Chain A
Amino acid sequence: MTVSRESYDVIVIGGGHAGIEAALATSRLGKNTLLITMETAALGRASCNPAIGGLAKGHLVREIDALGGEMAKATDHTGIQFKMLNRSKGRAVWSPRAQIDKKAYSAYMVNTCKSQAGLEIFEDEATAVTANEAGSVISGVLTRSGSSFKCQSLILTNGTFLNGLIHIGNKSFSAGRIGESASVGITESLIELGFKTGRLKTGTPPRIKRDSIDFSKTTIQAGDKNPEPFSFSTKNFDPPNEYCYITNTNQETHRIINGGLEFSPLFTGVIQGVGPRYCPSIEDKVVRFAEKTSHQLFLEPEWSNADQLYVNGFSSSLPEEVQLNSLRTVSGLENVEFIRPGYAIEYDFFPPSQLKATMETKRVKGLFFAGQINGTSGYEEAAAQGLIAGINASRSIDGSDAFVLERSEAYIGVLIDDLITKDTDEPYRMFTSRAEHRLLLRYDNAHFRLAEKGFKLGLTGQTLYEDVENQKALAVKTEAFFNSTYIKSDVINAMVETQATVKESQTLANILKRPGVSVEDIQSLLPDWVNDLSPTLLTLIATNTKYAGYIERERLQVERLSKHQQMRIPDAVDYLSMQAISFEARQKLDKIRPETIGRASRISGVTPADVSLLIILIKKNVSRETH
C-alpha cells in the first residue's frame, strides 16, 4: 500500500476493538481517517476468549449499538452461540453473551473497515507520536518504515502491544500477542511529552486440539433456543447454537500446579505488572483459594466447528509442561494436546487520570487514548472507549461541544468517569455493581436511552432511530394504559389464586406490581393491541411498570444531584495552596485534576466539606480574574 496523502484529520493507531470503533466513528463523521495497524488481517482479532458480552459487558455492547458503533452487529453476524445471563433475575441485570467465530469476526471487521468511505488502512508500526514544540498540541506520527504522517487528532489504541513482554514459565520474550511483535517507541515518546506510565499484566489460557478431547466426560453447554440479537437493527435472527463443554479440575490438578509454582513468573516475582483479580490465573486460584478442591473449566470453540478450543478458567503462565501435565488430570482431557500454551503478558499503560472525559489527554491537545492503554481489560470496554474517543476526536476538529455520557445515562458514562477519577491499579473491568443507577441502565432500554443521542451525533442510522422512537411511543401509550385501566376485584381474585384477595378494583399496573406476578400472568386481561407487541417490548414495558417505584427512586436520586456537579473547574487551579482543604484532598485533587465538581466529589479521600470549600475558592478566584 502506498501513502496517498500525508495529512489526515484523524489517525488511529491500532486495529483492535477500540481502534476499529474509533476509526469507523471518525470516518463516518466525515473525517479523513488513517488506521495504522501492523497487520490488516488482524483487525478485530480477539486475543483472548472467543466471546463478546457477558454480565455488564453485554450492556456496553448494546450501548455501543445505540450510538452507532459496530461491535453488536459484528457479534450478531459471527456469533455461534447466544445466551442471556442472569435470566433468573430481574431485567436490569440480564446481560447477553455470545460465543463468536473469531475468524469470521475479524473478517467481518476487516471488510467493514475496508469498505468504509473516508477510512484508509496502512500496515506499519507506529514508533513515535509528534507534537508542536511546546508539546501541547499533537501533530502526527512516525512509523518504523520511515513514514511521517500529520493529523489534527491522534487516537492511540495500542492494546497490550506497548513494550509487551510475554511470560511462559521462566521464559520471557518481547511480543504484543503470541506470534506478533511488540510495539516499541510510542511509550518513550509519550514519556518525553510528560506522561506517566505503568505496567499491567494479563493472561490467557492454553488452546487445545479438539480431537484430543474426550467429550463424553464433559457436560454440554448450549445457548438459548430463541436468542435475542445484540443489535437493534438485526432482523430475522437465526444464529447457530454450537456447544461449549464444562469439566472440572481436581486435587491432583492442583497438586501438580502447586509443584510448578517455583517456575511461575507470577510467584517468583518476575512479573511486576498488576493483574486483574476478577480474571486470576489458575495458579492464583489454587493458591488463594486452597480450600476449593475443584475449579470449573469451560471448553469453548474458537470458531465454527473449530479444531481449536479455548480453556476458559485455566489462564496460566506456568511452564508449558506443568500446564499440560496438570490439565491431563482433568476429566475428558487425559490425552489433551496443546496448540499453544497459556501465557501472561506485561504491557505499558497510561494511568487514565491523565484524560478528560472525552478521552483526550489533558496534557496534549488532539491526543486521545482508548482501550487497554488506559488500563482497562475486555473487548467491550475497549470498544466503548474507542467509540467515545472517535466521536470526540471528530468533534474537537469541528469545534463542537464535548460528547460526554453521565453516570446516570449509560454504563459507558460509568466506565469513563471511573477511569478518569480513580487511578486504577489493576486492569479495570465493568461490573453492574459499579453503576449506582443500575436499575435505570438496563440492557433492554439501551436504545431508548441513547439512540437519539447517536442520531444527533450523526452516527446512528435514521431507520434505527425511527424504529426506536416508534417503540418509545408505544411504550408510553402502553404504560399509560396499564396505569389507567381498572380490573374488577372478582376478576383479579379468580385469576391469581396464590395472591391475597383484593376488595376493590385495581389498575393493571397495580396487579403487575404484586409480588410474583408477571405480564404473562395477566395476558387474558390485555387487549390484542397490547398482546401483539413484540415480546421484547412488552417485557420492557412490564418491567418499567412493575418496578416503577424503584425506577422513580433512582430517577429522583439523579435529579437531586446538585447542579454544581456540572460546575467546571478551571485547568490552572492551584490546589496545593488551598489551605482550607484537607491535605489529603489537596494532594488527590492535584494529582487527578478533575474537570468538574461532580468528579472532584467522587475522588476517594475528598470529603463533601472539601468539595464545598473547593466551590467557594473557585468562585472567588474566577471572580477575581474577571474583574
Chain B
Amino acid sequence: MPPFVEDTIVAISTPPGIGGLAVVRISGSLALETINQYFASAQKLKPRYATFGKLKHSSLSEGEFDDCVVTYFKGPHSVTGEDLVEISIHGGAYLQQKLLEVLLRAPGLRAASAGEFTFRSFLSGRIDLSRAEAVADLIHAKDEAAHKNARNQLLGNLRLLVDAMSERLIHSLTILEAELDFSDQEIEFSPPQDLIGPLSEIQETTNSLLETYFYGRRLEEGIRIPLVGAPNSGKSSLFNLLLGEERAIVTAQAGTTRDTIEKSIVIAGHSIVLVDTAGLRETHSEAELSGVDRSLDEIDSADLVILVHAPDTETSVPDELIHTPQITVYNKIDLVSARPENMDIYLSCTTGEGFELLKKRLYSQVVNMVNVGVGGVVLSRERHRDVFIRFKDQITVCITSIQNQLGPEYIASDLRQALDILGEITGKTTPDDILNQIFSGFCVGK
C-alpha cells in the first residue's frame, strides 16, 4: 500500500474475468470532478441516485461506453466515507480495462492498492469496529499474497529491473545533492546537463517496458486462445483433445449464461485459456445470434485464434480476425482425400494425425508471444503500468528542467518525485540512502 496520502483512487470492483456487468469505483476528493469530465447525461449527478448516460471523452472511441449507470455517493455518506462514484458498464475484460486505463490518466487519480477501499471504509467508520480483525486479516492476506507474488519470476524480474533503475536515478540525484550539501568543499561536480544521457536511457527502458504491458496482462490472466469455426467443424473435439493431452488443468469454468466454454491449460509453462466458441454462421434466430456475438467478442479479446475449417463446412473469416495472430487448421482429414491449400495444419481428431504438429506450432507461437519484454520483464499489473506512465512523465519533467537550466535544487526536487513514484513498487528512497551514496562516493568533510 502506498504511503498515507489522501489521493483519489480508482479500481475495478467486480471480480476479474469476463462478466456481463462491471463496476469501476472512484473514491476521494476528485471523484465527482473526474466523472463530470467523462459522463454525459440528461440529468445531473445527484447524491445516492443512479443516473443513466454515456461516457464521452477524446480518449474514448465513439459509442464504446454508451450504456452506463453512474451512481454518486457524497462523502461521508459512502462506503469509504469519501466522495465515491460507481460506474457500471456493460462489457468484458477489455472494456473494463480500457475504462480503468482512461480514468488513471485523469489528473490526480491513481490505482488503488490491495485492500485500500476496505481500509478507507474502516477509517471512516463505515465498517464496524467489531470487524477490525477481519479487515486486518484481509490487508495482511493481501500483503502476504503480494509478497508471494513478488517471488514469482515475473514480478521478481520486474523488481530487479526497478531496483536497477532506482539505483541509476539515485546516482544522478546523489550528484546534485552532493553539490547542494557540500558545495563549500573542493569536489568537482559534473554539470546537470550530464544527467540528460542517463535519464534518457531510463526513459527508453520505461517506454519499452510499457510496451510489454499487453503481453504481461495475458501472462497474468492466461493467454486467450479461442477455437473459432463454422458449426460442426470439430472445434469441440479438438478442444477436448487439447485438454486431454494436457493434464495440468488449473481451473475449469463452464459458461452458464453463454455458450462458450473455457478451460485453462499450461503450454510452455504459461497459462493458456482455451475457449470453445459457438459456431459462426449467418442466422436469424435470436438465441443463435447472441451466441455468434459472443464468439466475435471472444475473437476481439483473443491473443491467438485457432481457426478450424473442415470439409463440407463454410467458414467465413470474420473481419475481427484481421489483426489477431491465428493458426488455421483443416480438420477431419480422415474423411476426405483432397486438401485445400494454405492451411497451417492438417488434422484428424480421430486418428490424431497432425496433432503433434499443431502442438509444436502452438508451443512456438506461445513462446514467441511471451518472449518479449525488457530483459525478461513484462508489465502485468495495471497498478504497475500506472506507476510507469507517471514515472515516464516525471522523467520528461526532469529532462526539461535540466534543459531549462533550473537550479540543482529544483532538478533534485523533480528527481525525488520520480524516485517517489518508482518507490510505489520497490519502497521509498530515504535521504539516508542518498547521504550514504555521497559519503561513499565523495571525500567530504573538513
Closest to A276 in B: B445
- Determine which of B129, B140, B186, B434 lies in contact with A613 in the assembled complex, contact meaning CB atoms within 8 Å: B140
Q: Is A193 an interface residue (CB 8 A)?
A: no
State whether A619 touches B409 (Cβ < 8 A).
no
State whether B445 touches A279 (Cβ < 8 A).
yes
Question: Please, how many angstroms separate the alpha-carbon atoms of A459 and B378 in the complex?
Answer: 59
Q: Is B247 an interface residue (CB 8 A)?
A: no
Question: Please, how many angstroms separate the alpha-carbon atoms of A582 and B435 in the complex?
Answer: 27
Choose the segment among A89-97, A230-238, A332-340 that binds chain B (4+ C-beta atoms closer than 8 Å): A89-97
Smallest distance from the beta carbon of A499 to chain B beta carbons, Å? 11
Question: Please, how many angstroms separate the alpha-carbon atoms of A554 and B185 in the complex?
Answer: 29
State whether A613 touches B431 (Cβ < 8 A).
no
* Residues from chain B with Cβ under 8 Å of A458 in the complex: none
State whether B6 touches A562 (Cβ < 8 A).
yes
Question: Please, how many angstroms separate the alpha-carbon atoms of A619 and B130 in the complex?
Answer: 10
* Residues from chain B with Cβ under 8 Å of A292 in the complex: 443
Closest to A556 in B: B108
- Determine which of B181, B182, B406 lies in contact with A515 in the assembled complex, contact meaning CB atoms within 8 Å: B406
Q: Is B122 an interface residue (CB 8 A)?
A: yes
Smallest distance from the beta carbon of B420 to chain A beta carbons, Å? 9
Smallest distance from the beta carbon of A289 to chain B beta carbons, Å? 4
Interface centre among B182, B404, B431, B435 (most CB of A within 10 A): B431
State whether A312 touches B446 (Cβ < 8 A).
yes
Q: Is A611 an interface residue (CB 8 A)?
A: yes
Given A277-B445, A279-B446, A439-B413, A560-B7 contact (CB < 8 Å): yes
Interface centre among B122, B183, B427 (most CB of A within 10 A): B183
* Residues from chain B with Cβ under 8 Å of A97 in the complex: 184
Closest to B407 in A: A90
State whether B409 touches A285 (Cβ < 8 A).
no
Question: How many chain A residues touch the partner (CB < 8 A)?
Answer: 63
Q: Is A434 an interface residue (CB 8 A)?
A: yes
Question: Please, how many angstroms separate the alpha-carbon atoms of A395 and B405 in the complex?
Answer: 48
Choose the segment among A350-358, A484-492, A602-610 that binds chain B (4+ C-beta atoms closer than 8 Å): A602-610
* Residues from chain A with Cβ under 8 Å of B183 in the complex: 55, 85-86, 89
Question: Please, how many angstroms separate the alpha-carbon atoms of A608 and B426 in the complex?
Answer: 12
State whether B181 touches A612 (Cβ < 8 A).
no
Q: Mark B110-141, 1 if CB is under 8 A from A, else 0.
A: 00000100010011000001001101110110
Interface centre among B181, B406, B444 (most CB of A within 10 A): B181
* Residues from chain A with Cβ under 8 Å of B140 in the complex: 580, 609, 613
* Residues from chain B with Cβ under 8 Å of A560 in the complex: 5-7
Q: Mark B169-186, 1 if CB is under 8 A from A, else 0.
A: 000000001011111111
Question: Please, how many angstroms separate the alpha-carbon atoms of A189 and B122 in the complex?
Answer: 46
Q: Mark A287-320, 1 if CB is under 8 A from B, else 0.
A: 0110010011010000000000000110100000
* Residues from chain B with Cβ under 8 Å of A315 in the complex: 446
- Determine which of B3, B407, B443 lies in contact with A601 in the assembled complex, contact meaning CB atoms within 8 Å: B3
State whether B180 touches A432 (Cβ < 8 A).
yes
State whether B184 touches A55 (Cβ < 8 A).
yes
Smallest distance from the beta carbon of A603 to chain B beta carbons, Å? 11
Closest to A578 in B: B136
| Range, interface on chain B | 35 or more
Q: Which residues of B412-430 are within 8 A (CB) of A? A: 412-413, 416-417, 427, 430
Closest to A621 in B: B132
* Residues from chain A with Cβ under 8 Å of B185 in the complex: 296
State whether B1 touches A608 (Cβ < 8 A).
yes
State whether B132 touches A620 (Cβ < 8 A).
yes
State whether A285 touches B445 (Cβ < 8 A).
yes
Closest to A516 in B: B405
Q: Is B94 an interface residue (CB 8 A)?
A: no
Smallest distance from the beta carbon of B201 to chain A beta carbons, Å? 24
Closest to B174 in A: A433
Question: Please, how many angstroms separate the alpha-carbon atoms of A278 and B179 in the complex?
Answer: 14
State whether B439 touches A580 (Cβ < 8 A).
no
* Residues from chain B with Cβ under 8 Å of A613 in the complex: 136, 139-140
State whether B416 touches A436 (Cβ < 8 A).
yes
State whether B182 touches A55 (Cβ < 8 A).
yes
Question: Please, how many angstroms separate the alpha-carbon atoms of A298 and B135 in the complex?
Answer: 61
Smallest distance from the beta carbon of A345 to chain B beta carbons, Å? 17
State whether A438 touches B409 (Cβ < 8 A).
yes
* Residues from chain B with Cβ under 8 Å of A422 in the complex: 432
* Residues from chain A with Cβ under 8 Å of B413 in the complex: 438-439, 550, 553-554
- Determine which of A86, A313, A439, A616 lies in contact with B410 in the assembled complex, contact meaning CB atoms within 8 Å: A439
- Determine which of B132, B181, B186, B446 lies in contact with A433 in the assembled complex, contact meaning CB atoms within 8 Å: B181
Q: Is B16 an interface residue (CB 8 A)?
A: no
Q: Is A617 an interface residue (CB 8 A)?
A: yes
State whether A616 touches B5 (Cβ < 8 A).
no
State whether B431 touches A607 (Cβ < 8 A).
no
Closest to B178 in A: A433
Smallest distance from the beta carbon of B422 to chain A beta carbons, Å? 15
* Residues from chain A with Cβ under 8 Å of B133 in the complex: 620
Interface centre among B3, B177, B186, B416 (most CB of A within 10 A): B3
State whether A86 touches B431 (Cβ < 8 A).
no
Q: Is A597 an interface residue (CB 8 A)?
A: yes
* Residues from chain A with Cβ under 8 Å of B182 in the complex: 55
State whether B139 touches A56 (Cβ < 8 A).
no
State whether B119 touches A612 (Cβ < 8 A).
yes
- Determine which of B137, B181, B186, B410 lies in contact with A547 in the assembled complex, contact meaning CB atoms within 8 Å: B410
- Determine which of B7, B409, B427, B431 lies in contact with A434 in the assembled complex, contact meaning CB atoms within 8 Å: B431
Q: Is B2 an interface residue (CB 8 A)?
A: yes
Given A296-B186, A431-B431, A608-B3, A616-B122 contact (CB < 8 Å): yes
Closest to B173 in A: A433
State whether A550 touches B410 (Cβ < 8 A).
yes
Question: Please, how many angstroms separate the alpha-carbon atoms of A55 and B409 in the complex?
Answer: 13
Q: Is A564 an interface residue (CB 8 A)?
A: yes
Question: Please, how many angstroms separate the alpha-carbon atoms of A615 and B115 in the complex?
Answer: 14
Question: Please, how many angstroms separate the alpha-carbon atoms of A292 and B5 in the complex?
Answer: 45
Q: Mark B149-192, 1 if CB is under 8 A from A, else 0.
A: 00000000000000000000000000001011111111000000
Given A278-B444, A296-B186, A616-B435 contact (CB < 8 Å): no
Question: Please, how many angstroms separate the alpha-carbon atoms of A103 and B123 in the complex?
Answer: 58
Smallest distance from the beta carbon of A279 to chain B beta carbons, Å? 5
Q: Mark A438-466, 1 if CB is under 8 A from B, else 0.
A: 11000000000000000000000000000
Q: Mark B77-91, 1 if CB is under 8 A from A, else 0.
A: 000000000000000
Smallest distance from the beta carbon of A408 to chain B beta carbons, Å? 13
* Residues from chain A with Cβ under 8 Å of B122 in the complex: 616, 619
Smallest distance from the beta carbon of A5 to chain B beta carbons, Å? 45
Question: Please, how many angstroms separate the alpha-carbon atoms of A439 and B445 in the complex?
Answer: 24
- Determine which of A90, A279, A516, A604 lies in contact with B430 in the assembled complex, contact meaning CB atoms within 8 Å: A604
Interface centre among B133, B184, B412, B413 (most CB of A within 10 A): B413
Question: Please, how many angstroms separate the alpha-carbon atoms of A438 and B443 in the complex?
Answer: 24
- Determine which of B143, B409, B427, B444 lies in contact with A89 in the assembled complex, contact meaning CB atoms within 8 Å: B409
* Residues from chain A with Cβ under 8 Å of B5 in the complex: 560-562
Question: Please, how many angstroms separate the alpha-carbon atoms of A617 and B137 in the complex?
Answer: 11
* Residues from chain A with Cβ under 8 Å of B432 in the complex: 422, 604
Q: Is A226 an interface residue (CB 8 A)?
A: no
Question: Please, how many angstroms separate the alpha-carbon atoms of A553 and B180 in the complex?
Answer: 20
Closest to B176 in A: A433
Given A433-B181, A547-B410, A597-B4 contact (CB < 8 Å): yes
State whether A433 touches B431 (Cβ < 8 A).
yes
Closest to B141 in A: A580
* Residues from chain A with Cβ under 8 Å of B407 in the complex: 89-90, 93
Closest to B427 in A: A607
5 contacts between A and B (CB under 8 A): A89-B407, A93-B407, A547-B410, A562-B4, A563-B6
A interface vs B, CB < 8 Å?
A: 49, 54-56, 85-86, 89-90, 92-93, 97, 276-280, 285, 288-289, 292, 295-296, 298, 312-313, 315, 422, 431-434, 436, 438-439, 515-516, 547, 550, 553-554, 560-565, 580, 597-598, 601, 604, 607-609, 611-613, 615-617, 619-620, 623
Other A-B pairs, 4, CB within 8 Å; known A436-B416, A601-B3 = A93-B409, A438-B413, A580-B140, A615-B123
Nearest 5 CB-CB pairings of A with B: A90-B407, A562-B4, A620-B132, A289-B443, A515-B404
